[in-house]
Amino acid sequence: MHFITSNYNNISTNSYWNKLKNKAKIDEDFNNFFLSLNNKALLDSYDAFHIKLYLNDYNLKENIQKLRLLKKKIFKNQKKIFFLYFFLKPNSNLIESKKFSNDFQAEIQKLKINKFKNIFINYEHVNSRDFSYRNFFYIKFPFDVSFLNKIIKNILQNIEVHDARPYKLIILDCDNTLWGGVLDEDEDSGIIYGGDNEGEIYYEFQKKLKKLKNDGFILSIASKNNEKNVWNVMKKRKMVLQKKDFIQAKINWNEKYQNIKKTLETLTLRAPDTLFIDDNLLEIKKIEEFLPEINTIHISDNSEILNILDNDYRLQKINVLNEDIKKYNQYKIKSKFEELKVKNINNFSFYRNLKQKIIKINVNPANFDRTLQLFNKTNQFNFTLNRYSPKTLSELLKKKNYLIKIFELKDKFGSHGIIGAYICKISKTSVIIEDFVLSCRVLSRFVEDYILYDLLSNFEKKKIYINYLKTDKNDKLIKYFLKKPFFINEHSKKKYHQYQIIKNESLNNVSKIFR
């Protein structure tokens, strides 16, 4: 939930705010931003804060001082997101306007708040037609009322970016998508890339994709080309994207929807979390027919592709976590594992030779955001789909009768990062697993089995239960997992199905393949 505050009257009852009232709480008190953010109960109640400040010659130093105090106490709270909207006074005198802007920028530089990953700054000079002395003096609102619409539009955009679920995988066509021209017809010389005009568009498009990859999005290819020619032209033309930037690229003459299905299966990713980009409308229509849940972009005009990407909220991340940055290498590791698994699917020694190790980690400030991300973003292997606010999770961490752990997986290929978590409620006689989530990229290697084995080993004198809430999102994977023989005695408890977990030969065998 979002909270909107300011250093002027928000005129919160105005009908313009109707667009936001189901998404955010609007501070009703005049010039209340400093008091609101110093209110611990209020600060704990919201995930994101939108702070609107009108600045002029008279209030600049006062508001900068308040921001300085907030920086020391509030802004360093990495669990919260802060959007700062600075509206600079209108001034018809260009020299005075430039001086005020420079003074403002100098103060912001001194604050160094632009270096905080959880603070996002928007600022603009207010046009004289948008400013109103009458409103400023009579209702303490410094703008024409119609300017509210522009303010709300900016806030709404930031809310949508903050609340959007980012894609995980971007699959690309090659010809007339990553470059201009058809490679196998035009050869290298006919490929349009770099330089001026149209070639510059493809260069900037690849730069954008590279940035997305560095922010944690996975890039792949589904294209009807000769694979050797694709990698050669990328290397020869010194393109921004190279072979090493793609995972599970499928470059052949098979149907693209078949190739994409294989990629999703290998990476254990969902179609709704995938974006496919192609210039060929027929291919787009095939994908939409055979993979209706997938998201698609048809490049009908390559000059518009950058605008399309910039306006897709699911390609924007408010807060890029360290886990996001590591995502490419983690999926690269998974890809190597899947290639080996195909040859050894029923070979128990194969899993033992992976040298897998599960590391249990306590939740701390450094991994808190990743923990939230696991519970709030994981759908398929998520027993209950309970979602947690920072406040709720923080409160659970303080309770002595709750055990919350996150897990890192390592194997001979490297670290897969933090891949799972559970929340357990402990009593004298039992342990109830209220939540258990696992990243899909590590499924089918007995990780989920071993985590339960470890829990049983640590609480041998207690009965262990797990709650399951069946939904369309988690039914396929969890239902299959619950068929394993160490789950018994299903019964209903409130809205959940509850299973007892017991040690048996199956779980004991699993323990032998982990270090």
Task: Look up residue 388 and give its two tokens.
Answer: 């947690």
Long-range CB pairs of 403-406 (<8 Å, 24+ gap) are: 403/431, 404/362, 404/363, 404/371, 405/360, 405/361, 405/362, 405/363, 406/360, 406/361, 406/362, 406/363, 406/367, 406/370, 406/371, 406/374
C-alpha span between 390 and 30 (Å, rounded): 28
C-alpha span between 247 and 337 (Å, rounded): 13
Q: Domain locations in the chain?
A: 2-163, 169-315, 343-511
CA 304 to mean position of chain CA atoms: 25
Residue 430 bridge partners (DSSP): 463
CA 175 to mean position of chain CA atoms: 29
Q: Which CATH class is domain 343-511?
A: alpha beta
Nearest Cα neighbor of 34 from 69, 1, 84 is 69
C-alpha span between 346 and 332 (Å, rounded): 23
CATH architecture observed for domain 169-315: 3-Layer(aba) Sandwich (3.40)
**Which helix (DSSP H) or strand (DSSP E) does residue 352 occupy?**
helix 348-353
Q: 340-353 burial string, b = 16+ CB within 10 Å, else e?
A: ebeeeeeeeebbee
Residue 181, pLDDT score? 87
Q: 36-66 burial string, b = 16+ CB within 10 Å, else e?
A: bbeeeebbbebbbbbbbbbbbeebbeebbeb
Q: pLDDT tens track of the chain, all 515 residues?
A: 899 999 999 998 888 888 888 889 999 888 889 988 888 888 888 888 999 999 988 888 899 899 888 888 888 776 788 899 999 887 766 666 778 878 888 888 888 887 777 888 888 888 888 999 899 889 999 999 999 999 998 898 888 878 878 898 999 999 999 999 888 665 677 788 988 778 899 999 999 999 999 888 999 999 988 899 999 999 999 999 999 999 999 999 888 999 999 999 888 888 999 999 999 888 999 999 999 999 999 988 878 888 888 878 888 776 666 666 667 777 777 777 776 665 555 567 778 888 889 999 999 988 998 899 899 888 889 999 999 988 899 999 999 999 999 999 998 878 888 999 999 999 999 999 999 999 887 887 889 999 999 999 999 999 999 999 988 888 888 988 999 999 998 888 778 899 999 988 888 888 888 87
**To 10 degrees, the CA torsion angle through 432, 433, 434, 437?**
180
CATH topology agreement for domains 2-163 and 169-315: yes
Task: Outline where DSSP puts E strands in 21-133.
Answer: 24-26, 48-55, 81-88, 119-125
Residue 93, pLDDT score? 67
C-alpha span between 452 and 501 (Å, rounded): 8
Tally of CA atoms within 13 A in the half-sphere of 184 that contains its CB? 11
Tally of CA atoms within 13 A in the half-sphere of 321 that contains its CB? 18
C-alpha span between 435 and 219 (Å, rounded): 31
> How many CB atoms are located within 10 Å of the residue 373 CB?
18
C-alpha span between 270 and 258 (Å, rounded): 15
Task: Tell me if residue 412 falls in helix, strand or coil.
Answer: coil
C-alpha span between 250 and 267 (Å, rounded): 13
Question: What angle is formed at CA 313 by the lines to CA 210 and CA 70, rounded to 5 degrees?
Answer: 95
Threshold 0.95, pTM exceeds: no
**Which helix (DSSP H) or strand (DSSP E) does residue 376 occupy?**
helix 368-377
C-alpha span between 375 and 409 (Å, rounded): 17
CA 506 to mean position of chain CA atoms: 36
CATH architecture observed for domain 2-163: 3-Layer(aba) Sandwich (3.40)
For the chain, helix (H) and strand (E) counts, in that order, are 20, 17
SS (H, E, C) 218-246: EEEEEECCCHHHHHHHHHHCCCCCCHHHC
> How many CB atoms are located within 10 Å of the residue 6 CB?
24
